[in-house]
Amino acid sequence: MLRTIVLLLGLYWGTSAMAENTQIIEQHVPQAQLVGEARLKVLFWNVYDAKLYAGEGVWSSDTPFALSLKYLRNLDGADIAKRSIDEIRQQGFDDEDAMTRWYGTLVKIIPDVSDTSTIIGIQNAARGTILYHNNQLIGEVADPLFSQWFFNIWLGEKTSEPKIRRKLIGG
């Protein structure tokens, strides 16, 4: 009986969180629909499940979209910020001053995550970035160049994870 109650509560909370995520995404992405999803695994560790949403389910880097990362392990926010900048650098961006500014912004915004955390990154109509952690706004970056390179970590042609990109963009 106790197991049944725990299971039902888990389903309720999971459904409630999913509904809140959908509301946040729909607030910023008109006619949002799932484009694709993928899981990042590093060696034998599951890191996160990613889902990409775009208007009518068709992604374009020039229109609003949302990328949801449901973490499957505990990670330090500063490590996530550093890894993000490393990924941007590996794609060929070489403006070290911009990357220093972006790292300073990310390290302030991105919290430590656990296996119950979800971070949603949204590219808005102005091509700025809005970030949510567990349905709470954590920061905004108005710089379209940041948005382009940040989301290229997952969606750019030079991503370090091309299989994940293909699954996310539906290719």
* Cα 18 from Cα 68, distance rounded (Å): 11
Question: pLDDT-based confidence at 135, cuts 50/70/90?
Answer: very high
d(CA 26, CA 30): 6
Token pair of 18 as six digits = 């999913």
Query: Each residue of 1-56: pLDDT tens digit?
Result: 434 333 333 444 443 344 447 899 999 999 999 999 999 998 889 999 999 999 99
- 87, 40, 137, 156 alpha-carbon torsion, rounded to 10°: 40
pLDDT averaged over every residue in the chain: 89
> For the residues 129-150, what does the mean pLDDT come to?
97
- Parallel, antiparallel or unpaired: strands 45-55 and 65-71: antiparallel
Residue 171: per-residue pLDDT: 63
- Phi/psi of residue 150, nearest 5 degrees: -65, -50
The structure's pTM equals: 0.87
